[in-house]
Structure 1
Amino acid sequence: MKTSPNKHCVDLLRELCKTESIRPFTARGSRAARCPHCLMTEFACFCHLRENQTSPVEFILLIHRDEIHKPTNSGRLIADLFPDDTQAYLWSRTEPQQTLLDHIANKQGNCTILFPNTEKAKEQKRPFRSVIPSSAKGDDKHTFIILDGTWKQASKMFHQSNWLKNIPHFEINSEAQRSFLVRHSSHEMQFATAEVTAMLLDTLGHKEHSQQLLNYYKAFNQHCLISRQRGGNAQI
């Protein structure tokens, strides 16, 4: 008998979105019979690969609403592996949840957005970190806000949210990206959320945790492919 994994922050957020939604999720493949936990078609379920790990940093997943129900969304893999070190919220341009704002405020400067130091960010004079400082409160982990969406969505989330403007952002430089590609990938510099986060961990020196997330992401991709290939009704 299959054992269901414990629900984490993204699972709970998805359930909340379903209860508040005024229309059903009808993207391609939405009629396929799916595992309610990993969202793959039932024959491609990969819940058995979900093993809880402890992360050296904390993550806040700021999820674009269009991503929360997508089986191909990779941001949720961060919560799969690091459930005790991950929080998840839907992004809002003007009305972020008070619990999110309170959590960021409690970090007192020990919080960073993962986003490139773009020309637009420089024009806006957004605070930028070239080096991640050590945790400011002893054992308190540094918190990274991960913008979970397409590049266009993430850019909108970063530049149009006034409540994010005072939080420093951090960029993984091009040299680190090229090095990561040589060691781990074969595609061009277009990364999924899970890959970017694995790259961040690698850049910070947490090689083992980076590899764990990357291996899990690769398995996720394989199961996505299985879902696509087995029958026309199983398309994601």
Structure 2
Amino acid sequence: MTDSRIRFNLHQVDHLRQYCQSISTRPFVARGANLTRCPSCLMAHDACFCDARVETNLPIEIVLLYHRDEIHKPTNSGRLIADLFPKQTHAFLWSRKDPESKLLDLLNEEDREIVLLFPDVEKKNTSFEVNSETSPSSTKKTTLILFDATWKQASKMFHLSKWLRNYPCFNINVEKQKAFLVRHAKHDMQFATAEVTAMALNALGYHEKASQLMQYNATFNQHCLMSRKRSGQVKANT
């Protein structure tokens, strides 16, 4: 197997994970912690899926706001976005009161159109509605912000982030997107971060990029299962 450390440069999610490891007071112990993992895709070596990773460019930018627990998980799907679109993906730890200055600087850039990719159920924000027949602003760089966490954690992060409340929320018509999801895999409508992003890209008209991300996510899921089976074998043999 080709060494992925030679093939791929570290992207922002990788750098954020390394930073979190450096400041952590105790190690994060994931399922299968005793496995020898690929340093790039984080799967067990015999479940490595680095060959499926093809870096490309995205017409918009993505900002991932990570819950402190999510960044360490080998099963985190947000990193798939950075795998495919490393130059357009930013990653930061979420903070309720003290967001990083680099993040605030990015959000304050005048040439950006900032949109939260999260349903504003209280309808306090003006929604940023788009479908496959509409286009994002041609004068500003569309930048989508996602909370990368479990749904329960993400909901809390959204409601506690008063510093983000003035940005519009991107309304994805799930009914219109179901056909897109079904084309790629059987689905129970429980969305991972990568899938939500793919739905947004599809709604914005970037169909090829959306399909690429969904296919990569499907490969990731298959290899996660392989890695879990390998973890079970390791546990049984110890």
Verify same fold: TM over 0.5. Answer: yes
**How many residues get paired?**
229
Q: Distance in 2 between matches of 1:14 and 1:233?
A: 27
Corresponding residue number in structure 1 for 2:200:
200
Mapping of residues 80-159 of structure 1, within 5 Å: 80-107=83-110, 110-118=113-121, 121-122=122-123, 125-131=124-130, 134-135=136-137, 137=139, 140-159=140-159
Range with bigger deviation, 36-45 or 211-220: 36-45
**1:8-51, Cα deviation, whole Å (9 max, x unpaired):** 00000000001100001112212211112211111111122221
Where 1:226 maps in the other structure, the secondary structure is helix
The structure-2 alpha-carbon separation of the partners of 1:10 and 1:70, relative to structure 1 and needing over 3 Å to count, comes to: same
Note if 1:54 corresponds to 2:57.
Answer: yes
Deviation at 1:109, TM superposition (A): 5.9
C-alpha contact 1:31 1:233 (8 A) present in aligned 2:
no
The structure-2 alpha-carbon separation of the partners of 1:45 and 1:182, relative to structure 1 and needing over 3 Å to count, comes to: closer
Note if 1:30 corresponds to 2:55.
Answer: no
Corresponding residue number in structure 2 for 1:78:
81
Q: Which amino acid aligns with 1:8?
A: H
Q: Distance in 1 between matches of 2:95 and 2:63?
A: 14
C-alpha contact 1:35 1:45 (8 A) present in aligned 2:
yes
Q: Distance in 2 between matches of 1:136 and 1:231?
A: 48
Corresponding residue number in structure 2 for 1:219:
219
CA RMSD of aligned residues (A): 1.8
Deviation at 1:127, TM superposition (A): 3.0
Q: Distance in 1 between matches of 2:97 and 2:207?
A: 37
Deviation at 1:107, TM superposition (A): 4.2
The structure-2 alpha-carbon separation of the partners of 1:164 and 1:233, relative to structure 1 and needing over 3 Å to count, comes to: farther
C-alpha contact 1:63 1:88 (8 A) present in aligned 2:
yes
List structure 1 segments (4+ residues) > 4 angstroms apart after TM superposition.
none
**1:121-173, Cα deviation, whole Å (9 max, x unpaired):** 32xx2232223763353xx5310001111111111111111111111111211
TM-score, length of structure 2 as denominator length: 0.90
Where 2:219 maps in the other structure, the secondary structure is helix
Q: Which amino acid aligns with 1:166?
A: N
Deviation at 1:179, TM superposition (A): 2.3
Where 1:106 maps in the other structure, the secondary structure is coil
Deviation at 1:108, TM superposition (A): 5.7
**1:200-229, Cα deviation, whole Å (9 max, x unpaired):** 111111110001111111111111111112
Q: Distance in 2 between matches of 1:234 and 1:80?
A: 28
C-alpha contact 2:35 2:231 (8 A) present in aligned 1:
no
Q: Which amino acid aligns with 1:189?
A: M
Q: Which amino acid aligns with 1:57?
A: I
Identity %, equivalent residues = 54
Where 2:62 maps in the other structure, the secondary structure is strand
Where 1:230 maps in the other structure, the secondary structure is helix
